[in-house]
Chain A
Amino acid sequence: MSAMSLLAAGDPLYQHGVTWIVFLIVAVKVLLGFGICLISVTLMIWFERKVISDMQARIGPNRAGPWGLAQTLADGIKLFFKEDLIPERSDRIVFKLAPFLSLVPALVIFAVIPVGGTITIAGYTTQLQVADPPIGILLAIAMSAIGVYGVMLAGWSSGSKYPLMSSVRASAQMISYEAALGMSVLTVVLISGSLSTRTMVDVQGGGPWHWNVIRLGVIPFVIFLIAGIAETNRPPFDVVEADSELVGGFHTEYSSIRFALFYLAEFLNTVTMSAIVVTLFFGGPSGYILPIPGGTIIFPVLWFLLKTVAFCYLFVWLRGALPRSRYDKLMDLGWRRLIPLSLGWMLLVAGFLVSVAWGIGMGIVIVVGGLVLSRAWELGSEREFTDSAVLPPVASRLIPPRLVRDQTDRGEGEDQ
């Protein structure tokens, strides 16, 4: 592969070398991207509060600005004026570092998301996307993995009980779902043959029946959505911030603007996660373009916005509709269901892309694998709580007789 074709696969902006105009365009794109991030977070927080309050038959924020639109801004400004406390038992450097580790990766993920088609400024054609590196989706996955450090170090450095528990939970949960997440992204990489997000979107360009959600079967999309919700710690998988168990989760000890940075990162992650779902499975900015002047620039952006808002709404809807999942059920879902399923589906997609015979062969392999796994589950549940178990049960203390009686209706002194 020559240098030219490698570059042509990326942003055409750099095809004719880098001049000061190119630098200027890059600077404008970066600033615009940053601005879009901040504005989208502001709107997302307002949107979430408004939709949730609608679902709970409340009015929600309605004082600051029209329909309460400026409520987030007001909250943010308020947080600037709040006392910035650093707990005495905390590890001060890590405590100060953690919000950055949360916020910066969340911002960087946005860079690889294609928000529209291409535009031409001053003779230079560029994509409506902050950056299109050849490893685009890997960058996104890597950044979401670094986000785990933010959460983990925040809880660890607080020097407090509940944030520590929350951070341990969070890191176990996020790394568990990262495997399933990576495997479902792999199916998309298989079908588009590239890691660049722009190529992924281009491959899906020919209308809804070319979207990956249909071409790959719905399974990878569903796995990605579930894993994405778990990655962003959103309800129903928000055991990290389970207020009834862990006070406020990993950011309990954070106050003032440090807390605001975490909050910002959290909602930015929600927005970018919906944007990534749209990019990977719903064709990104592709959609019907009305034949009006400037339509080729406006409509892709509109389609992208529409799809992303739809997924943002889905995330909020799930929060409004579903109760919080229990921690052990959450981990079981990840390890026992999603990881084997995503692995199997990835092999199936790879098989069918090579040849139909391989696809059928893979199908047989998966059925055999499923049988092996179901036998392993049987064995596992037999050994789970006996003496031969690898791990002792978490709560192996004796159950008080009164409790047993209440739960089983067994009389005192009676045998089973």
Chain B
Amino acid sequence: MCLWGVVRDRVTVVDQYLPVLGLLLLGIVFGAGSLIASKLLAPHQQATAAKVAPYECGIVPENDPPARFPVRFYLVAMIFIIFDIEIVFLFPFAVVFRQLGNFGIVEILVFSGVVFLSLAYLRSVGGLTWGPIKQLVKGMPARTSESTIARISADSSPERAA
């Protein structure tokens, strides 16, 4: 029946994964092979200090790469895990929801509702904000053509020039 992995009624269809494994191995072999080919063909010389230094468009790097990052990135990763776990649970539901009927849909509604509320809460406390631009804009009056004309005329007025 199968290549292997048949245990009576519980079938693990391993043979369907055989080509996937083959493609995976072929990918690794291809990558390794091209690295070996490059090793054989590429020039062998001691790389100069400038070549192995971090590339910053010709500017000599002075600072180390930053060790600290805005906390937002960590936060996004954590929120992502919540949503990803939701999706992980939704996939089995999506396959069998026809058999589950009303029970399944109520369950999924409750479950999605909880995750959705967490998103709404996060948003309401300002947890999903990026970028500084709005602060800059908020504190400033709008720049109109009148205000620009007024400023320029004020700049070029005789008492200011003197």
Contacts and interface: CB of A to CB of B under 8 A. Distances in A.
Interface of A: 2-3, 6-7, 10-11, 14, 17-18, 26-27, 29-31, 33-34, 79-89, 99-100, 103-104, 107-108, 110-112, 130-134, 138-139, 158-162, 164-165, 168, 171-172, 175-176, 178-179, 182-183, 186, 189-190, 193-195, 247-248, 252-253, 256-258, 260-261, 326-329, 331-332, 335-336, 339-340, 343, 346-347, 350-351, 353-354, 358, 362, 365, 369, 372-373, 375-377, 379-381, 383-385, 389-391, 393-396, 399, 404, 407-411, 416
Contacts of A82: 38, 42
Contact of B42 (A108, A256, A261, A358): A256
B161 interface: no
Contacts of A409: 141, 143, 147-148, 150-151
A57 B49 CA distance: 41
A34 B42 contact: no
Nearest to B102: A354
B95 A391 contact: no
Given A107-B27, A183-B87, A253-B55, A7 B80 contact: no
A15 B85 CA distance: 35
B123 A343 contact: no
B67 to A, nearest CB: 9
B56 interface: yes
12 contacts: A3-B6, A7-B11, A80-B34, A87-B52, A103-B31, A178-B84, A247-B56, A248-B55, A328-B133, A350-B94, A383-B125, A390-B127
Interface residues of B, number: 99
A394 B129 CA distance: 9
Interface of B: 1-3, 6, 9, 11, 13, 15-20, 22-24, 26-28, 30-31, 34-35, 37-39, 41-43, 45, 47, 49, 51-57, 61, 63, 65-66, 69-73, 75-77, 79-80, 83-84, 87, 90-91, 94-95, 97-98, 101-102, 104-105, 108-109, 112-113, 115-117, 119-121, 123-136, 138, 140-141, 143, 147-148, 150-151, 154
A253 B56 CA distance: 10
Given A107-B23, A384-B129, A395-B135, 9 more contacts: A17-B1, A84-B39, A111-B23, A138-B91, A190-B97, A358-B102, A377-B124, A407-B140, A408-B143
A353 B95 CA distance: 12
Contact of A30 (B26, B31, B37, B131): B26
Contacts of B91: 138, 182, 186, 189, 195
Contacts of B47: 83, 85
